[in-house]
Every structure is written in C-alpha cells, then in structure tokens.
Chain A
Amino acid sequence: MAFTMQTSGMAELTKRLEKLGEKAQGVASLALYEGAGMMADEISKAVHGITTEPFRYGTIENRRKPSPEEKAILENARKGVAKFHKSPDRVDTSIGMQNSGYAELKGKTVPIPLIANAINSGTSFMQKQLFMRRALSKRRAAEAKIEQELEKRLDELSLD
C-alpha cells in the first residue's frame, strides 16, 4: 500500500537550500516529518470511520462488511511514519500499514496489511470501504504544511 507525494513550485526554495549546504537535509527532514505526521493522523481518522457489522460468513451472493474485530486490529496497528531514507538530493519516507506486522484473528495469524487491503479494495465476499484512498485525497493540506514548515525553518536558519 505505497503511494507518492509531490510538492511543486519549489525552485526558489531549492536554490536557498543549496546555499545552506549541510543543514539543508536536516531542515527538509523536519518539514517532511510534520507533513507525514498529518497524513498518518488522517489515516487513523479514516480507519476510525470504517463501518462494521457483527461477523458472519460473507458469500459471493451476499457480501459482508468488516467485523468489529477486524476494525479493532487496524485501529491498534502501528500506523507511524517509516524510517527516513536520505540521499544527497531528497528525503523519502512512507506512511501506512505495510510494516505493522501480524495479528491474531479467529485463532489464525493474519498479516495486518492483508486485512487493510481486503477492507480497502474489497473482495468477492467483502464490501469495499476506501478508507486509505479517502485519507490520501487530503494530501493537499499535508503538502501545504510541508512548504510552510520549510519556509519557517529556512527563515530561522538564514537569520543566523
């Protein structure tokens, strides 16, 4: 469940970043962390909005909704910001449930990303609820936050 986020119109900022040299990467990471945190919060909110019904066996003729247990697993799963990957000209991270491990469901050990995928995309026996895509559609706010943080922190730096 990976996705990319892009910010445009950063030509001016990158010029200033180049001048700042070594400090630039730290500034970019701090700004990115703020934006990534916002997206992680959005995903938590979207998970909270999943509608459920008590478990029954879904069939192809009569698809079911996720059960409260499945929702609880997603709510308790780790949805943090992944380790930052730094290269000379960029800083990357990822948000989501791809590294959140396994959970116990009805006596079986099930990978959490699999449950998330089944709810998000739907299966032949489960109705789809697009909580992930709903959260990602709000990425504009996170992008604005990143740009704002960059501006603020760069101003602080250039005063030195």
Chain B
Amino acid sequence: MPTEYTNLVTALKALTQGEEPNVKTLPMAENEWNTRPDSDSYGIVALDFEADALHGDNIKVCTAYEGSVDLFSRKKDGDGWVEEIVNTLTAYCDGAWSLNSHMYERENRIFHWEWVFQVEG
C-alpha cells in the first residue's frame, strides 16, 4: 500500500463535524463489500488500479495509483461532508483529484458523489 494512500484513508476516517457536545462523524468504509454503516451519510474509499508509471533502467521508478471516494447521502447538500472530503483530498493529493460524477437515485432518494484521485507510491 502506498503511504500517501494510507495517510489519506486515516484522515478520511477521522473526519468530524460540529462542536464538542454533538460531534458528527462520517462512517467511512475501506474497500467496502456488502456492508453499510447505518447512517444518513456514509462513504467508501478504495484504491482501484495503477494509473501510470515512469520507467527507467528496466524498473519502475515512480508509480501513480488511482482510487476513488464515494459519498452517499440522503441530504441534498451532502450534510456538509462534501466540503470536508474535498478539503482532505486537496490536503493529501494536491491537485490530483476530480469529481467524476454526481448522481441521484430516484427510488432510494440517495445522492451519490464520486471523486477520483491519484496518489504516488
């Protein structure tokens, strides 16, 4: 696992909102598989595949990995977690991230954000 990615995951799992008496935390699962944290909003972070690599002397000098962060929310504004996640991505991946899609599921009334980021490994 690239260290940059591990740092990002720990930062995302530690996201909090609000003042001391009623602090909200975002349930964030890593490589989620058939489980769902029971909450209004929840997130998934995963490392997907190798995006690109720089080769020299027949070895990989530098590798870039691509991953994604998903946020599911029942609130239209993402319950304030959108900004928090964007700030975390900026802090840990610099400029190497983008909002891949934003969708709405009519049947379940869930909003879905998907960010794609790249980290160096």
Contact = CB atoms under 8 A, between A and B. Distances in A.
Given A61-B35, A128-B70, A130-B48, 12 more contacts: A60-B108, A62-B34, A63-B34, A121-B70, A122-B112, A123-B110, A127-B33, A130-B68, A137-B50, A137-B51, A137-B52, A137-B66
A134 interface: yes
A10 B71 CA distance: 40
B72 A121 contact: no
Given A63-B34, A137-B51, A121 B114 contact: yes
Interface in B56-113: 66, 68, 70, 72, 100-101, 103, 105, 108, 110, 112
Interface of A is mostly: loop
A109 B49 CA distance: 34
A45 interface: no
Interface string A111-137: 000000100011111011010011001
A140 interface: yes
Contact of A123 (B35, B105, B116): B105
Given A60-B36, A61-B36, A121 B100 contact: yes
B61 to A, nearest CB: 16
Nearest to A61: B36
A121 to B, nearest CB: 5
B114 A124 contact: no
Given A63-B34, A117-B101, A125 B48 contact: no
Given A121-B112, A122-B70, A137 B101 contact: no
Interface of A: 60-63, 117, 121-125, 127-128, 130, 133-134, 137, 140
A80 B116 CA distance: 26
Contacts of A137: 49-52, 66
Contacts of A130: 48-49, 68
Interface string B25-56: 00000000111100000000000111110000
A63 to B, nearest CB: 6
B97 to A, nearest CB: 14
Contacts of A63: 34
13 contacts: A61-B35, A62-B34, A117-B103, A121-B112, A123-B110, A124-B108, A124-B112, A130-B48, A130-B49, A130-B68, A134-B49, A137-B51, A137-B66
